[in-house]
Chains A and B, each alone.
Chain A
């Protein structure tokens, strides 16, 4: 396999095409516009369809249609545009359709800013849209991982018939790194017999999320819930480094985790035993990793590019056993590893309650 040097937004497109995605519906918004531009150039070359929709709402509904017709399809946007897609995502989840949704997060709320942020965590993992559904949320922290998770994301979506979100940020979208496009582990994906198809004349297919009888809707939700339990069991992914002897465990996802890794290197150099738990799936969240680590460590420090959202899930995992602190920047400001080091030292020195 060859190694290429590519920009994050374009890697998403390249990985998607390699994974067999042939349909992209989206709308320009900073900082992800390079992705629809890439798909506009490359999809026609492989017989695919790129369409710039009139809005993000139209785009997600085009995805709903294409997915119902059995295709591997994706859309992308950034924070305000993802907000627009929420109704459509709820419909896709309710109708049990697969698709990939990419959020290159920017500062919010409202029109916000165009610099990187992680303030869409709640939106991604706690709902966003209405109803009892869940999105599988994957959070890469490098261009290589971005490529890997995009490809795996399509497989996860198909295996469980559920929308999957790639939660990136403006930095990941704009930066360039080395990448090798490699196939994910092979899964036994069932054929899409449920999809509308002109080949299968045996029975008519109905793609729908309406269950007007309450008992039917309850059964539908129970069925969805069972699916989500399966996903939790099989797909939870995280990384932990140097946590076994750690006095303080830092935790972060995405690009922030790389800054945290720098902080840990500095702390270890000063003789302070620090480690990191890095969730890779934000839903399902790796609660167990925190539960286990809470027995051995003294404190947790959550670092996010937001006012603190993932910290609530960290606290759920730690379940009161040890204190959980927060350190972060927001609005597009990038945390400094030296600030993180200072905060960790203050926590261990007992200066912070």
Chain B
């Protein structure tokens, strides 16, 4: 059975902290990094647990500022 492995890469200095990506992630792995302030003065969005990422690109679709690049691969799982 193939599993999906996703990679969501955030260009943090483009982020305006709108939080829309956090709202649409189906596995809830995106949070606003309250410990960081980017060049624009916002808390940028970031992924907490990339292992769970499906590479669905909902976040990238929803982002108005093309902050996110998404990669994906199918990994075969050994039984």
- Asked if A and B touch directly (CB within 8 angstroms), the answer is no
Residues of A within 8 A of B (CB): none
